[in-house]
Structure 1
Amino acid sequence: MTQMPEKLTARDNSAVKLYRKLARSKKERYREGLFVLEGHRLVTDALRSGASFTHLFWTEEGYTRWNQETIQADLRETRCALLSNELGTDLSQTEHSQGVYAICRMPRQPELSQLIRPGGIYAVLHQLQDPGNAGMILRTADAMGLDGVIYSASCDIYSPKVVRATMGSLFRVPVCCTAAGSLPGSRCGKLCRRGERRGGIGGAVSVCSRNGCRHRKRGERSAGRGNCGL
């Protein structure tokens, strides 16, 4: 930043009210096409991955600590502002806030037909309602280099708890949110039924690359993972 951003202190400021609504309401997130980020690492990971921000906030303490470490991104279309420490505490949803917040535009997700390709390996999440588990699976997909995550009838992937739990993997792994009836093929349904467990259903899906072949070996699930040929 080349100059000190404006300072916001009022709880009824329009940008502060927008952040609060997005943090609390799935309906507002999808109506606006926006979601919130909290934490220096998450914000910088998003910027490095090319995420688009409408707003970027620091508390006074956060600005002093983190501004010099924020990567040099093009923020000309982003409203940057300082928050009073008290206002930052009011917005924070973590026990130890770092004083860095952002409002991010939802990325355009690929269609299921665009995401799935021969030879690809994907994680499928169906009826998974625990935000921590959802974030952990996205981190695992990122670490394992999977080709994408298919997300169906599960907790909101843009909720603050899920976003924090992904630790930035949300911005690095292709994600397709789809209706349960659109899940690819009956074998995926068999995987989901076989893999049902408390807290949700999930599995690893491999797409066979051999011409005319409709399946691969289906293995037993382990720690919430499984294999299903499509």
Structure 2
Amino acid sequence: MHRSAHRLTRILAASAAVPAILLATGCSMLGGGDDGSGSESTPSQKPEATPTVKAAKYSKLPDACSSIPEKTVKALVPKVKSPSGTAVKSSDAAARGGCTWSGLDDNGLKGSDFRWLDVSFQRYESDTALGTGEKRAEAFFKKQTAALAKPEGGKDVGTGRAEGIGDEAATVSYKETKDKETYVNQTVIARTANVVVTVNYNGAGLQGAKDPKSADLLKDAQQALASAVSAVK
């Protein structure tokens, strides 16, 4: 009886040790020790930097019909139909806009003087994929100037530079015939930062009146352009 009790005591002691061994083994498998024997940790990765681009200087455009003073409009377009101008419809007024004026000074048998004036604005926003607004405006200015220098049906085409207007400015002059009448055209285009401004000014002497001088029209067109560029600021 004494030997049986002693044997039972050893069996119970051995059985009690098993959970402790399993627990120790489980902790080792879970890597809970302080000796670094657990699973390898993945180092944290730094987020990629978001590309940035210099913000465009101008975030909006002026009202095109107010960009050229009414006094100037009346001087350039005699008998103007609407001194306040006719706005060109735009799907995005912050990116583009325009306005037109026309007038006919009818002198009966002495002939008539016709004038047409229009102004347009094109603004570019900075874009991380396309570049700064200024660079995009520069590209448009060059492309537009090249296209204007090849007017369809134009003759006696002349090109030049305009000094003191915006960051850069160019001029294109030519003549064209419509309904047997000769029209003298002057187009001046300027870039100021991320905005490109274009002014078209043309005139004709109708019913025997003398045609306007190209140099006079160019001077007037540059005056209108300077006002429009100033309005952007």
Q: State the TM-score, normalizing by the size of structure 2.
A: 0.22
Query: Which structure's CA Rg is the greater one?
Result: 2
More strand by share: 2
